[in-house]
Structure 1
Amino acid sequence: MAKILIVEDNAANMRLACLLLTQAGHSVLCARDAETGLALARNDQPQLILMDIQLPGMDGLAATSLLKGDAQTAAIPVIALTAMAMKEDREKTRLAGCNAYITKPLRYKELYEVIDTLLATDLPQ
């Protein structure tokens, strides 16, 4: 399965995402802030990133923009995780470079479906 980076500052949300991903057979990298997430993305080259939008310090949109602007990490698909569910919030994530958008609380079927779709289309064959 895939190596997936989770960037999430909320401990309960992090535990849930880790549990869901490991149960699906993925290996998981964890970061509690954007700066750590950027470093892990560059150094460990995950196949996919789950990015919380509301992070302390640098937010997830700024971090995604940096990832997409870096040749080392630009091709890694990013799924925005957010409690904000307004149409304009979805547009902001798209403009920052996110490949998909999932609202919290996480629903495992939706999470698995989005991950499977992105991995099928974005992983090199």
Structure 2
Amino acid sequence: MTLPNCENIILHEYRAGVLSEVSLPFSTEYALLLKINGNPYVTMACSGNYMREHITGYLITEGIISNTDQIDTMDIDEENLTVNAVLVTDKIITEKLEWIKTITAAGGRSRKNMPSDDLVRSSLPQ
């Protein structure tokens, strides 16, 4: 099941001296909480479609996992907008999760140092 990706919104339109109600479709966006092994990790925006693929791609892109075999299970709770990705027991994954740093967007100043070499992806997974 996927969440609705479009919602009709009632607006007021002024045209030719007349104010009238109109309904226009807008894309929906959901704040999805990703938990890794039951621990809250990040809240991200998503369309509500292809959540399994979205989360898998995020985990690979962020360098947390290197392939889909490292995901043991993925529990998607659409009602509460949460996904719990249970990863296989792996020392390297555990170390990565302990050392991941928060990087804010739009010029945030929370980070003083560049991430360590083991967190920087040097090549794409095969």
TM range (shorter): under 0.3
Greater share of residues in helix? 1
Higher relative contact order (CA 8 A, sep 6+): 1
Give the number of the structure whose alpha-carbon radius of gyration is greater.
Answer: 2
TM-score calculated relative to the size of structure 2: 0.24
Greater share of residues in strand? 2
TM-score calculated relative to the size of structure 1: 0.24
